[in-house]
Structure 1
Amino acid sequence: MNILKGQKQQFVTIKGTKDGLTLHLDDQCSFRELVYELTEKLALNQKQTEDSPLLAVRLKVGNRFLTKVQEEELRTIIRSKKNLIVDSIDSNVITKSEALELKKKNEIVSVTKIVRSGQVLEVEGDLLLIGDVNPGGTVIATGNIFVLGSLRGIAKAGFDGNKEAVIAASLMKPSQLRISDIMNRAPDTRKDDEQNDMECAYVDENEMIVIDRLQQLIHLRPNLTRLEGGI
């Protein structure tokens, strides 16, 4: 005997939180079934009065891709309950263009050249420069900057606002460093022949750019590496 016979599968699960409501929407049923049950459950569960406070609603749609039209239909259903407002719609699925943009922002761009005075090298993602940045030259990246050579010019990392970005160089003698919107001129306290180790620059807890030995990155930015095992 099947004791589950006759039970209706639930496509919408409503959970109350301290911040509002979270709606978990099944990602296997048809969209029309989802809309029907959502409308039905909101009508049964939502008791509203004129002075009811606004409740933020977060939709979790799992592995379902929603078109803009479908998103707006869900928002309209929820807005019809006067004290509900959609705070976010979270999906595990992204579009092909979004995936390509994400890949572009996270890939490492390798360039072999010398960036001379007056030249600007700019990339999306991380920059791996095999060569030097001469005085007056500039390298810019939305991610990290790694220079296998001397950095004597200007380096701007995390240019789209990423304060976790770092700058590393075999010889760190920049005229100017910038990470996100934080900028400084590197201290010039040593002669070139006194530096033997690669160095890195990063933003510390005081939002100041600090220069340290490259080996410190494994502690400062443990998630920097994309390979198992760390730096």
Structure 2
Amino acid sequence: MKNRQNVTIKGTKDGLVLYLDDVCSYEELKRELDQKLSATLRTQEDRHVIGVKVEVGNRYLTEEQREELKALIRQKKNLVVDDIESNVITKEEAFQLKAEAEVVTVSRIIRSGQVLKVAGDLLLIGDVNPGGEVIAGGNIFIMGTLKGIAHAGCFGNEEAVIAASSMKPSQIRISGCINRAPDHSPSNEHREMECAYINEDHQIIIDRLQALIHLRPNLTRLEGGQ
């Protein structure tokens, strides 16, 4: 009877993919991984850096175990871990993902000194006055005038956008990018609804709201709960 393989190594154009069994013990997995990586690299004469993607299936790894696997792989000199993927997450991580996917609707005016923060998308029916601030892990939609500070994608989501019926912010931020208030001339006081997003040059751009249809087609998930 053929012994079960706990580690399968496949080469791709981007490097190596390691498929790790999710049933055997963690210690057994580490031993076999070390042995197979050593045997694989002995047959390779090219010593350039190789990217490694690790897939562990339905095995949950603690942060300590993730670091152990990364250290074991890095010991092989020319290997660099690009990612470790698992199908399993904790309850806390699941709740966080759920919160970040929700749209929170708030009907109020955010006055000077007030801060409104949500984990997911924010739909604010009201104004953000100078000195007020709204922060969201996702997108920010303001059915009113934005005169204060708006920070979308605060957890690092660079695809997030900010939209307002009247865009006159003191500052806008998306992820780590910051932009001062856009210039508006008196003739543009009644401009149509605008949006802000990060372009391919990693700069925040102010544009007509209609631009999002092509730039962020995934926003249509808000319609009908899709």
Letter paired with 2:120: G
CA spacing shift, 1:126–1:20, aligned 2, 3 Å:
same
Give me the CA root mean square deviation.
Answer: 3.6
1:153-168 alignment, distance < 5 Å: 153-168=148-163
Cα offset for 1:129?
0.9
More helix by share: 2
Q: How many pairs are equivalent? A: 224
Q: Would you say 1:204 and 2:188 are equivalent positions?
A: no
Q: Would you say 1:186 and 2:195 are equivalent positions?
A: no
Cα offset for 1:145?
1.1
Query: Highest Rg: 1 or 2?
Result: 1
SS in 1 for 2:210: helix
Q: Would you say 1:214 and 2:203 are equivalent positions?
A: no
Structure 2 stretches lacking a partner, 5+ long? none
What fraction of aligned residue pairs are identical, expressed as a percent? 59
* Contact map agreement 1:179 1:203 (CA 8 A) in 2: yes
Q: Distance in 1 between matches of 2:70 and 2:202?
A: 39
Q: Distance in 2 between matches of 1:76 and 1:220?
A: 40
Q: Under a length normalisation based on structure 2, what TM-score does the superposition of the two structures give?
A: 0.76
Paired residue for 2:219, among 211, 224, 228?
Answer: 224
Cα offset for 1:211?
2.6
* Contact map agreement 2:138 2:152 (CA 8 A) in 1: yes
CA spacing shift, 1:68–1:126, aligned 2, 3 Å:
closer
* Contact map agreement 2:7 2:33 (CA 8 A) in 1: yes
CA spacing shift, 1:133–1:13, aligned 2, 3 Å:
same
* Contact map agreement 1:182 1:207 (CA 8 A) in 2: no
When structure 1 is superposed on structure 2, of 66-75 and 86-95 the one drifting more is 66-75
CA spacing shift, 1:127–1:69, aligned 2, 3 Å:
closer
Aligned to 1:26: 21
SS in 1 for 2:88: coil
Q: String of CA shifts for 1:169-210, please: whole Å, max 9, x gaps.
A: 122233333333221212212457633x32212233344433
